[in-house]
Structure 1
Amino acid sequence: MTTFDNPATVPAPPAGRYSHVARIELGDRTMLVLSGQVAIDGEGRLVGEDDMRAQSAYVLDTIEKILAAHGATLGDVVNIRTFLTDMDRIGEYGEVRVPRFAGAPPTSTTVEVSRLFVPGALLEVEVTAIV
């Protein structure tokens, strides 16, 4: 069974165009597939303009809140996909991301894109977790 959710602990998706998370029940396990997250607040404003560290922290905080609403943590993440608008800034992202994942890091894909759906957004991150 699959259910879709938008936890009240994070800003709702713009105009209800998508869900933040799909929860897929797999017997005694649950898979959580999160939509890509960007650094926009509840009023739709960009957080941390031209600041990769600030945007990275905001995005990962949002992901943690979505996971927590479903009984999961970053430790349950098995895959992370990151879209950067400037691959030269991957080190700044890594400074924020790496300390948040204790133990074996999840599988990962990082690609550079020409732009994201929010003007000024420097990255978008989506994850899959198993709990």
Structure 2
Amino acid sequence: MSAKRENFVPDTVYARIMDGKAMFPTAVSVEGQRMVFTSGQLAWDKDGNTVGKGDMRAQFEQVGQNLKNALEAAGATLEDVVKAVTYVTDMDAFFECVDIREKYLGPGWPTSTTFEVSRLAHPDMMIEIDMIAVVND
């Protein structure tokens, strides 16, 4: 069962708008019994093979699926996510993948922070995301 949550986008704080709505809330208030934290997920398949070397879209899809699987293993869903932190090696390539972001980060409309970094844990990786979810048991 999803936790009770309320998203806030006050008019006193700038919010990035896309298609007439804020891309993410400025703050989220959550009432729940259990928190789920994911490790930063990279574009590795279940056997440890790199997916999409040099391809941000393919890597983003794999990272999103890995996050979905990790959350489900812990009894949570993408809709339960209240915070996502994304690290990318190419911000421009990341911005071309807004549709994938919406697919994996959009359902629960979590707060979100994105950083461009010079390198991730493996040199072939272009994106890493970790999440926090809150669920009621």
Task: Give the shorter-chain TM-score range.
Answer: 0.7 to 0.9
TM-score, normalization by structure 1 = 0.73
1:102 and 2:107 matched: yes
Say if 2:81 is the partner of 1:77.
yes
Q: CA deviation at 1:68?
A: 0.7
Q: Which runs of 4+ in 1 moved over 4 A?
A: none
The answer for unaligned runs of 5 or more in structure 2 is 1-31
Equivalent in the alignment of 2:91: 87
Structure 1 unaligned regions, length at least 5:
1-27
- The TM-score normalised by the length of structure 2 is 0.70
Q: Secondary structure at the match of 2:128?
A: strand
Tell me how far apart the structure 1 counterparts of residues 49 and 96 of structure 2 sit (CA, whole Å). 22
Deviations 1:74-129 (A, max 9, x none): 000000000000111122332211133235x1000000000011111000000000
Alpha carbon RMSD of aligned pairs, Å? 1.4
Which is higher, the Rg of structure 1 or of structure 2?
2
- Identical residues among aligned pairs (%): 45
Classify the secondary structure of the residue corresponding to 1:127: strand
Higher relative contact order (CA 8 A, sep 6+): 2
